[in-house]
Structure 1
Amino acid sequence: LDDEYDYVIVGAGTAGLTVADRLSADGKYTVLVIEYCHLAVSDEVIEAGNGRNFDDPGIQYNITSVPQPDMNNRRQFVWIGCCVGGSSAINGMVAVRGTRTEYDAWAELGGPDSTWNWDGVLPYFKRAMHFTPPEEQLAETFNITWDPNAWGQDEDTKVYASFPTYQNPRLIPMYKAMAKMPRMDVPLDGAGGENGLYWYPSSLDPETYRRSYARTGHYDEQIERDNYHLITRQKVRRVLFECDGTTARGVEFFSRDDPDEVVRVRARKEVIISAGTVHTPQILQLSGIGPRPLLEEAGIPVRVELPGVGQNFQDHAYLSVGYAWGRGGGPPAPEVPQLGDPRTVSSPNLGAWIGLPTMTEDFEDIAARYEAQDPAAYLPEGTDPTVIAGYAEFQRVHAKLLRSKNTNLMWFPLSGGPGGIVMSMHIVSHGTININATDPEASPVVDYRALSNPTDMDIMVENIEYMRKYMASPDFAAYQPRETSPGAHVTGEALRDWIRQTYIPTNFHPIATAAMKPRELGGVVDDELRVHGTSKLRVVDGSIMPLLPGANTQQPVYMVAEKVSI
């Protein structure tokens, strides 16, 4: 460990490793990455669980939310990765982006000069993952299409987006039924910014068919660089500042194995916080950057009053609707040539990404009710006026998204069987992630405030009703599908009660606790991800996203890191 580096990065997760790799690649800059967790054995991460998703508490944080009143006071486990590679080591490996409409909304929230619209982010999506097309026979059999102009194949990018060699033939009748749904589009490739029914790749190495994640792509081959250092099992306590009080000069951290071993390291150019949506606000608040009332309650001197730190918290939400075939075991699987290996399948590769106007003719009523809300009505009591102003702008933009066919309000992953998961991809209930005022260095206090805004309930009802319409397709009539949970008879207020009992307020895609918006709108970072009111301090991770992308956040986080690294 040197006394100083050009860049000090807090967090060796999806974003932190990407930034560290890109900044150190030409040897011009020295980079230190400080990671709270450890370097997991690589084979465990990529092989466990018969393939891909690693459910081991040894590489996850042990954090649970506060009780959620609108979920019958249930708590929610906060699922985030704790190892070098972060959540890219434990995610579902779905490589999707969201739509043009959604990133144009980012730019609207960012201000008139924002560079984060679709055209501004697409080059960095292309750089973020190296695309490998499916095998020719697989593509022909399952009608897998793709747009080569929407993807990148940069030789310097070692995070891969690939297809397995096998797909379940039972997907074919499910696909055909979904393609016939009213107003359903079937684009060439969702990576081009359009929604509908399409195939998408996994973050999968195309040669080994193992998990491709931030560690394999941005660390394992870079470990020998003299200018790229990474240390693990170290907890960053706070950012250090120059005498002017707002210019970052380094960080203070200590060893988890020896808490008395306190170390300070200097950053000549910048401190970059990439600790993730859950821990980035904690580090900022411990450093005196955040809401004044909270910092004063915790006894932390206020360095920069930024009320938006830890606010605006959003995540995708989902639940499962159960179905069973009543006759014949469902549509028969067509006989197709299958030369691939089922063990290469790592995640769903087929799904419908659906806008509210596609789901329901009542979309305008839902949008109008949401648009008419008082912006402060469903935010926490005592919310700062700037955060309320920011939510008012979010509300204005989000009402347009509700009316747009090209907004991914719902994700319906298709499997070879009936029913399944429905996901709400745009949540309007804003939660908080803050320090514990009585023990600031303990785990952050996570409050999803799930279903606190009634619009989220309205949309989840529409998700379930869309599932019911799909399962009532003429293609399935001969097989008499039967809804087992909650049951076709459960409607109206009874359905809403069932949702409160079963709703999961996270698809493990937390964002927005250091949102990229103007300071007067409760923003924490500017268009270049510099923390408002400071210099030489930047945030680069999912916390900067001002609004949920209608997509799993893996590829968007890589994009954010690539864009800021140029």
Structure 2
Amino acid sequence: MPSLKTITVSLLATITQLAAGLPRSQLHARILGEQADVKDEYDYVIIGGGTAGLTVGDRLTENGKYSVLVIEYGVYHEQTGMDPSRMFNITSTPSPSLNDRQFRVGLGCGVGGSSIVNGQLMLRGTKEEYDAWKTLGGIDSDWDWEGLLPYFKKATTFSPPDKEIADEFKIRYNAEYWGSETPLYAAFGMGRPANITKKLHAAMSGIEGVTVADDSGSGQNGVYWYTTSHDPATGARSYARTSHWDNVPRDNYEMVIESKVNRILFDDDMAALGVEYVPVNDTGSEPQRVNAKREVIIAAGAIHTPQVLMLSGVGPGDDLKRAGVDVKVDLPGVGSNFQDHSYVPSIGYSWGNPPPTEGPGGPMTAAPNLVAMIGMPALVPNHYEDLAARYEQQDPKIHLPESYTSEQVDGYSQQQAVYARMMRSLNTTFNEMMLFGPGGSIQNMHPLSRGTIRLNAQDPQGQVVVDYRGASNELDLEIMADNVHFLRRYMASEELAEYQPSERYPGPSYNTTEQLMEWSRSQIIPSVYHPIGTCAKVPKEHGGCVDEQLSVYGTKKLSVVDASIMPTTVGATTQLSVYAVAEKAADLIKARTFD
């Protein structure tokens, strides 16, 4: 007679085989395998099945009233993590101010978008950083901390840390800043952090001006323990596909994969009628058309959303003409205002007297993780006022792309005024440091330089031309040097003296700000895979692309709902902010009335 273990293994194998044979439509919303299965018309057509696109698609279909087709460039798969096969293969143009180096443009490619490959950090920015979006949007804007907080909560389900570990390691949290209904988890790891984090916490929080936040989602910076996007029961990645596609089998929610949108179709009044798309692996085939009864929604991300608009004739007129695209709406802001966080991968330290290694430590482990988000007055207390004053006195045209119109220059000058105020605020994060060992990487969370996304004039349907223009504003080099000085001050704190920290890289020969600025030219990477801003939500007269309702200027029935609408960076990873933007966008779209 077979054992219970043998029967169990056999039963699991049978279930697995049955599940593998099930049509995808029975496991989740419908992925259409044949073009003949695609209807002629849907209420909404969403371009991009990533973080924002799946969130909006889920919300638009959940009441059963509307039909949605998602068109996704990548594949449906079970693999996650930073796997190159699940990412676009794009390299930037050289950045002259960073020694003409080129950089990888990291973007997820598959159902779930970048949420399948990111570091899973569920961070949000500070109150001041989201309030800046309202200031730049205009007097009637509600895109601020208060206007987004309900959507941060709606987007997630919170899982607290183990109580004993929380008490021992001073893990502060407040569930009031989080939700409990959407199966996108913001969870603390249940393992034990390394004991050294207690010392790191004390050393960082003891620096003048550095606060200890009530919660990582409170809109307050400083030292805090943060959540990651994983299922607290299984440890598996929690992302857009698992939260907004899997387990929502609806007849009104469909998707085609491995398909590229060539252009949006408009009528004579510039109302979006639908889209044309082709298979990714056969772009020379006859384009397929699908109509949108209510609206076309672009959620292709900050790199590819501008490409979709430009291929459709909406964008900077001169660039479109060079690429052989008929200009329908001359909208110079499309593809401009490109921003990302920048970082130096390593400031190398070693312990002369190593601490005990118990507990896993390190970022993205099974244990809770610790971070410091630092404002400029704490970063450089004797220097921040001078830095802010010099920045606000800059002539913006000197540091911006030559293609910028007077309206775009005016828009950046408004960002300049906002950023100068934020430089003087403790609660605007200019430096992010993960606290898990000696030294580490340093990040500039508000780079002042601005890049561009443009069509390749020789191959418009191919990959876009990505120009970070890293450190084109030299103050970005100075801020990075200030970050190095701050890390050295932190490592020299009394709390860490017993471990005898010693700097190995860049080393004491790089001591002055000028020396560290020059060193930074060869070290800065202008992307932490957090691209934003390329279809900014600011007034058209200030170089914007979408209005407060996320409708594209000069068009009708066309919206953008992803990170490209963010006018400025926030001092946090972008994942959670994208979910909040998408949740708010879905409500705005559902509230529209149509003739």
- Read off the aligned partner of 2:312 and give its amino acid letter: S
Asked if residue 544 in structure 1 is aligned to residue 565 in structure 2, the reply is yes
Q: After alignment, is 14-23 or 473-482 more displaced? A: 473-482
Q: Which residue of 2 aligns with 1:182?
A: 208
Q: Which residue of 2 aligns with 1:198?
A: 224
Q: Which residue of 2 aligns with 1:49?
A: none
Determine helix, strand or coil for the equivalent of 1:115: coil
What is the CA–CA distance in structure 2 between the aligned matches of 1:555 and 1:144, rounded to whole Å? 20
Q: After alignment, is 293-302 or 100-109 more displaced? A: 293-302
What is the CA–CA distance in structure 1 between the aligned matches of 2:413 and 2:98, rounded to whole Å? 25
Q: Among the aligned pairs, what percent are the same residue?
A: 48
Q: Which residue of 1 aligns with 2:35?
A: none
Q: Which residue of 2 aligns with 1:48?
A: none
Q: Which residue of 1 aligns with 2:375?
A: 355
Are the equivalent residues in 2 in contact too, given 1:318–1:507 (CA < 8 A)?
yes
Are the equivalent residues in 2 in contact too, given 1:165–1:341 (CA < 8 A)?
no
What is the CA–CA distance in structure 2 between the aligned matches of 1:101 and 1:326, rounded to whole Å? 37
Determine helix, strand or coil for the equivalent of 1:325: strand
Q: Which residue of 1 aligns with 2:439?
A: 419
Determine helix, strand or coil for the equivalent of 2:398: coil
Determine helix, strand or coil for the equivalent of 1:126: helix
Are the equivalent residues in 1 in contact too, given 2:154–2:179 (CA < 8 A)?
yes
What is the CA–CA distance in structure 1 between the aligned matches of 2:310 and 2:348, rounded to whole Å? 46
Select the residue among 435, 449, 453 that pairs with 1:433. Answer: 453
Are the equivalent residues in 2 in contact too, given 1:348–1:414 (CA < 8 A)?
no
Q: Which residue of 2 aligns with 1:251?
A: 275
- Read off the aligned partner of 1:487 and give its amino acid letter: G
Aligned length: 546
Q: Which residue of 1 aligns with 2:30?
A: none
Asked if residue 404 in structure 1 is aligned to residue 425 in structure 2, the reply is yes
Report how far residue 501 of structure 1 moved. Answer: 0.7
Give the TM-score normalised by structure 1.
Answer: 0.94
5+ long unaligned stretches in structure 1: 46-53
**C-alpha deviations, 1:350-402, integer Å up to 9, x for none?**
10111000111200000001000011110111321111111111111111111
Asked if residue 445 in structure 1 is aligned to residue 482 in structure 2, the reply is no
Select the residue among 520, 524, 537 that pairs with 2:541. Answer: 520
What is the CA–CA distance in structure 2 between the aligned matches of 1:342 and 1:182, rounded to whole Å? 25
Are the equivalent residues in 2 in contact too, given 1:255–1:261 (CA < 8 A)?
no
Select the residue among 228, 239, 256 that pairs with 2:253. Answer: 228
What is the CA–CA distance in structure 2 between the aligned matches of 1:366 and 1:256, rounded to whole Å? 48
- Read off the aligned partner of 1:393 and give its amino acid letter: Q
**C-alpha deviations, 1:401-454, integer Å up to 9, x for none?**
111110011111111x20001111001100001111221111000000000001
Are the equivalent residues in 2 in contact too, given 1:165–1:345 (CA < 8 A)?
no
What is the CA–CA distance in structure 2 between the aligned matches of 1:197 and 1:489, rounded to whole Å? 30
Are the equivalent residues in 2 in contact too, given 1:104–1:118 (CA < 8 A)?
yes
Are the equivalent residues in 1 in contact too, given 2:66–2:252 (CA < 8 A)?
yes
Report how far residue 327 of structure 1 moved. Answer: 2.5
Select the residue among 35, 60, 66 that pairs with 2:93. Answer: 66
Report how far residue 177 of structure 1 moved. Answer: 1.1
What is the CA–CA distance in structure 2 between the aligned matches of 1:280 and 1:327, rounded to whole Å? 50
Q: Which has the larger radius of gyration?
A: 2
* Equivalent residue runs for 1:286-297 within 5 Å: 286-297=311-322
**C-alpha deviations, 1:26-61, integer Å up to 9, x for none?**
110000000011112x2x21xxxxxxxx23221000
Are the equivalent residues in 2 in contact too, given 1:131–1:151 (CA < 8 A)?
yes
- Read off the aligned partner of 1:229 and give its amino acid letter: E
What is the CA–CA distance in structure 2 between the aligned matches of 1:147 and 1:257, rounded to whole Å? 48
What is the CA–CA distance in structure 1 between the aligned matches of 2:351 and 2:368, rounded to whole Å? 25
- Read off the aligned partner of 1:538 and give its amino acid letter: S
- Read off the aligned partner of 1:291 and give its amino acid letter: P
What is the CA–CA distance in structure 2 between the aligned matches of 1:287 and 1:348, rounded to whole Å? 46
Report how far residue 257 of structure 1 moved. Answer: 3.2
Q: Which residue of 2 aligns with 1:109?
A: 136
Q: Where does structure 1 differ by over 4 angstroms across 4 or more consecutive aligned residues?
A: 340-344
Q: After alignment, is 374-383 or 25-34 more displaced? A: 374-383
Are the equivalent residues in 1 in contact too, given 2:342–2:524 (CA < 8 A)?
yes
Q: Which residue of 1 aligns with 2:178?
A: 151
Q: Which residue of 2 aligns with 1:161?
A: 186
**C-alpha deviations, 1:6-36, integer Å up to 9, x for none?**
0000000000000000000111000000001
* Equivalent residue runs for 1:127-526 within 5 Å: 127-154=154-181, 157-166=182-191, 167-222=193-248, 224-244=249-269, 246-259=270-283, 260-329=285-354, 331-332=355-356, 345=365, 349-361=369-381, 362-415=383-436, 417-492=437-512, 493-526=514-547
Q: Which residue of 2 aligns with 1:39?
A: 76
